[in-house]
Amino acid sequence: MKNIVILGATGSIGLSTLDIIARHRENFRVLALTAHKNIDRLYDLCALHRPEYAVVADEASAKLLQQRLQKINLTIEVLIGNAGLETVASLPQADIVMAAIVGAVGLLPTLAAAKAGKRVLLANKEALVMAGALFMKEVRDHNATLLPIDSEHNAIFQCLPTDFKMGERNAKIARILLTASGGAFRELPLTDLPNVTPAQAITHPNWNMGPKITVDCATMMNKGLEVIEAHWLFGLPADQIKVLLHPQSTVHSLVEYKDGSTLAHLGCSDMRVPIAHALAWPERIASGVNNLDLLTLGKLDFAVLDTERYPCLNLAYQALQTGGTAPTILNAANEIAVQAFLDGKMAFTDIAITVDKVLNKLPSRPATNLDIILQDNAAARECAQLLNRHP
Ligand code: NAD
Ligand code: MG
């Protein structure tokens, strides 16, 4: 029986994780669930999964949740804010921590799980983009087990050589290829891009995900963040990580070996596949997802990416090449710009422009400790906010 903590339980990844757990009650027990503001959903999840702990954003939400839980005679310790998140991420009785909070706010609890030596299921790619070197060091120093949930990275993980060590370059690998669907606007005329709406941008052709990552897919910043994520997870330099347009999202990614072999992972576009893989690893459990029907699928298409349509991808490659806190700055500026776009305060095409401007304004520094990373994260957010107000 494994005890599981789900950071970001009310989101898309959190709910998919709970769906699998509900299919395997004999193997997994929910120890803690966290949410930000969606107390109704967290209450429903607590009633169903009966965790020992819940974490919410503030005192008022905690009170509300406690009162409702008391009415159904459920005793759950409700903790608050970032301190609460870090506490549950490092509970001694926790075996597995699903890191599924969206954005930079997920960094500290995910780091806490790594420092506590847990099995960390990493969906929160922003944490690794912000603090890659530091995060991987904590994983190594505390003997944590890091398993990627992002579908591309989970796919690569499944195609790696048997002697692969997380974060270390393996000489057998020539390149990895990350596939990208192209997002909501892959076929829209470029001249229409400045006028797209948030509602259009959060409609992904293949995957059902939270709003931030869905916008990131449309700008291709998601793939840029994933290139940086792959760099840290698989120990490869930027020139050994390639991106390929693959509109069907069926081949989740590929590993090219030195001998001319290419290994790929294929599956339906349902995050329960990588989540089930990481929950059970090295075993396999049912995820509720069917295997692919290749005959119905018929064909798979691949194409080179149009860099004019997706300037964010190059910005991410440049930040990776620059190193230090450049990826921290890139991620922070992107989070602010995407939120401004979702709030109707910025045009879609201004997301890339804002990230570029912030990267040009703030110099990268060596990311030698957490304070520097958090300072540059805050500075980039402020800079992006100011640019949005006074372009
Ligand atoms: P989502 O928006 O559906 O859910 C986000 C979760 O984070 C919610 O539970 C929310 O309560 C919590 N949260 C948000 N702000 C918070 C804050 N300030 N403090 C505490 N908690 C907060 O997002 P998602 O699509 O589930 O994505 C989660 C993470 O997984 C992201 O980093 C995303 O890039 C990654 N990911 C998601 C998918 C997917 O299919 N959804 C695929 C690959 C990677
Ligand atoms: Mg992905």
Say what the pLDDT of residue 205 is.
Answer: 78
Q: Assess whether 196 and 47 both reside in one domain.
A: no
Cα of 76 vs centre of ligand 2, distance in Å, is 33
Q: Radius of gyration of the chain from Cα atoms? A: 20
Are the C-beta atoms of residues 328 and 366 closer than 8 Å to each other? no
Q: Treating both helix axes as pointing N-terminal to C-terminal, what angle do 59-71 and 39-49 enclose, rounded to 10 degrees?
A: 40
Q: Three-class SS of residue 119?
A: strand
Classify residue 320: in a domain, yes or no.
yes
Q: Which two tokens stand for residue 268?
A: 């339906």
Is the pLDDT at 391 greater than 80? The verdict is no
Any ligand 1 atom below 6 A from CB of 209: yes
Say what the pLDDT of residue 206 is.
Answer: 82
pTM of the shown model = 0.98
Q: Assess whether 127 and 173 both reside in one domain.
A: no
- Report the DSSP beta bridge partners of residue 56: 80
Cα of 11 vs centre of ligand 1, distance in Å, is 5
Other Cβ atoms closer than 10 A to 308: 7
Which residue spans within 204-314 are E strands per DSSP?
A: 241-245, 251-257, 262-266
Q: Assess whether 135 and 183 both reside in one domain.
A: no
Is the pLDDT at 6 greater than 90? The verdict is yes
Cα of 238 vs centre of ligand 1, distance in Å, is 26
Looking at residue 66, which CATH number applies to its domain?
3.40.50.720
Q: Assess whether 210 and 328 both reside in one domain.
A: yes
Instruction: Please state, in angstroms and rounded to a whole number, the distance separating the CA atoms of residues 21 and 13.
Output: 12
Q: Assess whether 11 and 104 both reside in one domain.
A: yes
Any ligand 1 atom below 6 A from CB of 331: no
Give the mean pLDDT of 27-54: 97
Give the mean pLDDT of 7-28: 98
Q: Is the peptide bond before 282 cis (omega within 30 degrees of 0)?
A: yes
Q: Assess whether 107 and 181 both reside in one domain.
A: no
Atom of ligand 1 nearest to the CA of 37: 11
Shortest CA distance to 38 belongs to which of 63, 20, 59, 56?
56
Classify residue 384: in a domain, yes or no.
yes
Q: Assess whether 171 and 143 both reside in one domain.
A: no
Are the C-beta atoms of residues 309 and 330 closer than 8 Å to each other? no
Classify residue 159: in a domain, yes or no.
no
Q: Which two tokens stand for residue 64?
A: 């509300």
Any ligand 1 atom below 6 A from CB of 213: yes
Classify residue 219: in a domain, yes or no.
yes
Cα of 125 vs centre of ligand 1, distance in Å, is 10
Any ligand 1 atom below 6 A from CB of 231: no
Cα of 382 vs centre of ligand 2, distance in Å, is 27
Atom of ligand 1 nearest to the CA of 8: 9
Q: Which two tokens stand for residue 147?
A: 């398993």
Cα of 275 vs centre of ligand 2, distance in Å, is 12
Say what the pLDDT of residue 267 is.
Answer: 97
Q: What is the DSSP letter of 190?
A: G
Say what the pLDDT of residue 3 is.
Answer: 98
Cα of 294 vs centre of ligand 1, distance in Å, is 31
pLDDT digit string, tens, across residues 81-99 = 999 999 999 999 999 999 9
Classify residue 338: in a domain, yes or no.
yes
Cα of 243 vs centre of ligand 1, distance in Å, is 23
Other Cβ atoms closer than 10 A to 135: 25
Any ligand 1 atom below 6 A from CB of 123: yes
Which amino acid residue places its CA nearest to atom 25 of ligand 1?
210
Say what the pLDDT of residue 273 is.
Answer: 98
Classify residue 228: in a domain, yes or no.
yes
Atom of ligand 1 nearest to the CA of 85: 20
Q: Which ligand neighbours the alpha carbon of 209 most closely?
A: 1
Is 356 exposed, middle or buried, given 0-12, 13-18 or 19+ CB atoms closer than 10 A? middle
Any ligand 1 atom below 6 A from CB of 102: yes
Instruction: Please state, in angstroms and rounded to a whole number, the distance separating the CA atoms of residues 136 and 235.
Output: 10
Name every residue whose Cβ is closer than 8 Å to that of residue 338 and which is 6 or more positions away in sequence. Answer: 212, 215, 216, 219, 221, 351
Domain that holds residue 88: 2-148
Atom of ligand 1 nearest to the CA of 209: 41
pLDDT digit string, tens, across residues 267-320 = 999 999 999 999 999 999 999 999 999 999 999 999 999 999 999 999 999 999
Q: Which among 118, 148, 178 is the end of a domain? A: 148
Q: Is the dihedral of CA 138, 140, 143, 146 positive or negative?
A: positive
- Per the structure, the count of domains in the chain is 2
Which amino acid residue places its CA nearest to atom 36 of ligand 1?
123
Report the share of the chain in percent with pLDDT over 70: 100
Q: Which among 148, 178, 207 is the end of a domain? A: 148
Q: How many CA atoms lie within 13 A of 4 on its CB side?
A: 29
Q: Assess whether 67 and 144 both reside in one domain.
A: yes
pLDDT digit string, tens, across residues 144-157 = 999 999 999 999 99
Shortest CA distance to 235 belongs to which of 142, 146, 330, 107?
146
* pLDDT range class, residue 390, cuts 50, 70, 90: confident
DSSP secondary structure of 55-76: EESSHHHHHHHHHHHHHTT---
Name every residue whose Cβ is closer than 8 Å to that of residue 370 and which is 6 or more positions away in sequence. Answer: 111, 131, 134
Say what the pLDDT of residue 388 is.
Answer: 86
pLDDT digit string, tens, across residues 28-39 = 999 999 999 999
Instruction: Please state, in angstroms and rounded to a whole number, the distance separating the CA atoms of residues 293 and 248.
Output: 13
Give the mean pLDDT of 323-340: 98
Atom of ligand 1 nearest to the CA of 213: 34
Say what the pLDDT of residue 204 is.
Answer: 78
pLDDT digit string, tens, across residues 229-245 = 999 999 999 999 999 99
Q: Assess whether 310 and 201 both reside in one domain.
A: yes
Shortest CA distance to 30 belongs to which of 17, 43, 39?
17
Q: Assess whether 204 and 122 both reside in one domain.
A: no
Q: Assess whether 170 and 26 both reside in one domain.
A: no
Say what the pLDDT of residue 39 is.
Answer: 97
Shortest CA distance to 135 belongs to which of 163, 113, 153?
113
Q: Which among 120, 148, 176 is the end of a domain? A: 148
Say what the pLDDT of residue 389 is.
Answer: 84
Atom of ligand 1 nearest to the CA of 36: 11
- Report the DSSP beta bridge partners of residue 179: 244
End-to-end CA distance of the chain: 54
Residue 120 phi, psi dihedral angles, 5° rounding: -105, 120
Are the C-beta atoms of residues 1 and 25 closer than 8 Å to each other? no
Say what the pLDDT of residue 125 is.
Answer: 98
Atom of ligand 1 nearest to the CA of 14: 26
Classify residue 160: in a domain, yes or no.
no
Any ligand 1 atom below 6 A from CB of 267: no
Are the C-beta atoms of residues 254 and 264 closer than 8 Å to each other? yes
Which amino acid residue places its CA nearest to atom 5 of ligand 1?
11
Classify residue 142: in a domain, yes or no.
yes
Q: Assess whether 224 and 361 both reside in one domain.
A: yes
Instruction: Please state, in angstroms and rounded to a whole number, the distance separating the CA atoms of residues 28 and 316.
Output: 37
pLDDT digit string, tens, across residues 116-147 = 999 999 999 999 999 999 999 999 999 999 99
